[in-house]
Amino acid sequence: MDAKKIGSLICELRTEKKFTQKELASMLNVSDKAVSKWERGGGYPDLSMFPKLSQIFNVDMEKLVSGEISGNDSVGGNMKNIDVYVCEECGNTIMSTGETSVTCCSKKLSPLKRIKAEDKDKLNVELIENEYFVSGSHEMTKEHYITFVALVTGDTILMKKQYPEWDLQVRLPRIAHGTLIWHCSNHGLFYQFM
């Protein structure tokens, strides 16, 4: 851990929040001299204080410990390159159009890798009036099921959550051609072009 980097970051974040050293010290139950020492790079907070600092500044704790926070590069908002994260503990699904740090159930998540669906894995897509009717013969049990089906275009994502023991039948409005993505609880994230 680099005391100078951490101190500089604490000073920057404290100034952004418009806290005095004394106010920050009061929130942490330390002296304002301790905060001053950290900001000068003469030391850094005890590790037990980083969760509280993270909460006060609304910043990821790993970033605080590293002493570096950098913004993400603009990705132009192209939804076709969306990253999908699924928590193995609770099943929460999170999507991002750019690089991000995602944590759920106290675990850091990695984006799922997309698998191009082989013929045997592809979902059936029929155009009925102004809707896509998506269906499939995939097993739908509590142990093995499709968690969601989504249509992704350059600027839109339409997602339908699925549940165990439901038939895999989804209606999606016809908005444009795009990519169909879906997540299998056992085998990962699949896609097929429509």
pLDDT tier at 79, thresholds 50, 70, 90: low
Predicted pLDDT of residue 100 = 82
pLDDT in tens, 49-69: 888 998 898 888 888 888 877
**How much is the pLDDT for 75?**
45
> Quick check: 86 and 183 in contact, CB under 8 A?
yes
Taking all residues of the chain, what is their mean pLDDT, rounded to a whole number? 88
Q: Which one is the CATH code of 79-193: 3.40.50.720, 2.40.10.480, 2.60.40.730, 3.30.110.40? A: 2.60.40.730
**Pairwise pLDDT comparison (69 vs 156), residue with the higher score:** 156
- pTM, entire model: 0.64
Task: Spell out the domain ranges in the chain.
Answer: 3-66, 79-193
Residue 134 clears pLDDT 80, i.e. is over it: yes
114-116 and 188-193 beta bridge pairing: parallel
